[in-house]
């Protein structure tokens, strides 16, 4: 797991340690189901969101699985403990017009050429940020218009690259040759000629969103959400979108059906004679 994930789990388990010490529970096998329900309730009372409480309990469940394997506990008291139900958050997207405006900027130097290639590829192929910054030259096949992506769980998938992204990448490869330092094979480079960091991509994408007057904070994952939503609206093929996004579970992909329904509901409310509300007379 990433260092960020490990740090988060450590933080969650230390919260349980603090909770246990205050109640004189000095051994892991002293905690039972009711203690962990109280722990979850205390987190909720402290203002933690249901999603954060879910993560705490997930860390505790996994930790107790480890303790059982090592022979320190006979049971997992966290198995039946549930966090408050989290309100489903729909991912932020740009509509097709906004996306077109965002990508319609003139390139006048190496960095703007690179940035256009990055954003066109994000939108064309629905890549995650980590997937994009991890790309090597050998992963792109412009003749075949495909990109090989190393996704979550070290799973590889091949996804298509659209013609606008192909053109942007061809322009970037010409510029890249003059920037590269050393023997790096990374597809995207910074001004120093070294591989571009995820943070640099976030900053550049946000800056272009402001420069193009989009009116909302633009971040890399917004391209992925927009890619999935626009594809689902046009095709209705949920399984195909799942494959392109690299989701292991189709339930993860189904969030985009809610976005699609929102769009349909808006159209219905605006257009159907029995749906439109009468305006109050003055």
Annotated catalytic residues are 128, 152, 221, 224, 247, 256
Q: List the one residue out of 131, 128, 132, 96 whose CA is nearest residue 117.
A: 132
What angle separates helix 238-245 from helix 220-235, to the nearest 10 degrees? 150
Query: How distant, in Å, are the alpha carbons of 59, 69, 76, 245, 263 from that of 46?
Result: 18, 32, 25, 36, 37
The rounded distance, in Å, linking the Cα atoms of 78 and 31 is: 9
Q: Tell me how many degrees the CA angle 203-206-209 measures, rounded to the nearest 5.
A: 150
Q: Which two tokens stand for residue 54?
A: 């879910």
The rounded distance, in Å, linking the Cα atoms of 220 and 128 is: 8
How many Cα atoms within 13 Å fall on the side-chain side of residue 124? 23
Q: List the one residue out of 60, 62, 40, 64 whose CA is nearest residue 50.
A: 40
* Phi/psi of residue 186, nearest 5 degrees: -60, 140
């Amino acid at each position: 797991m990433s260092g960020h994930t490990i740090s988060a789990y450590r933080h969650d388990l230390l919260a349980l340690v603090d909770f246990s010490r205050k109640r004189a529970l000095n051994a892991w096998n002293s905690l039972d189901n009711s203690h962990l329900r109280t722990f979850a309730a205390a987190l909720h009372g402290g203002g933690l969101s249901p999603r954060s409480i879910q993560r705490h309990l997930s860390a505790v469940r996994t930790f107790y699985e480890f303790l059982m394997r090592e022979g320190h506990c006979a049971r997992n008291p966290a198995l039946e403990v549930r966090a408050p139900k989290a309100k489903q958050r729909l991912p932020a997207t740009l509509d097709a017009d906004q996306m077109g405006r965002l990508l319609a900027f003139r390139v006048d130097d190496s960095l703007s050429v690179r940035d256009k290639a990055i954003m066109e590829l994000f939108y064309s192929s629905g890549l995650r940020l980590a997937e994009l910054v991890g790309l090597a030259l050998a992963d792109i096949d412009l003749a075949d218009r495909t990109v090989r992506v190393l996704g979550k769980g070290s799973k590889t998938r091949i996804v298509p690259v659209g013609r606008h992204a192909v053109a942007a990448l061809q322009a970037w490869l010409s510029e890249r040759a003059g920037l590269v330092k050393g023997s790096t094979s990374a597809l995207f480079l910074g001004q120093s000629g070294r591989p571009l960091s995820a943070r640099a991509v976030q900053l550049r994408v946000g800056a272009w969103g402001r420069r193009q007057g989009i009116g909302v904070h633009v971040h890399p994952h917004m391209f992925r959400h927009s890619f999935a939503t626009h594809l689902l609206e046009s095709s209705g093929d949920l399984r195909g979108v799942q494959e392109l996004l690299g989701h292991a579970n189709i339930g993860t992909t189904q969030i985009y059906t809610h976005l699609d329904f929102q769009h349909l509901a808006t159209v219905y409310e605006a257009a159907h004679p029995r749906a439109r509300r009468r305006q109050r007379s003055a």
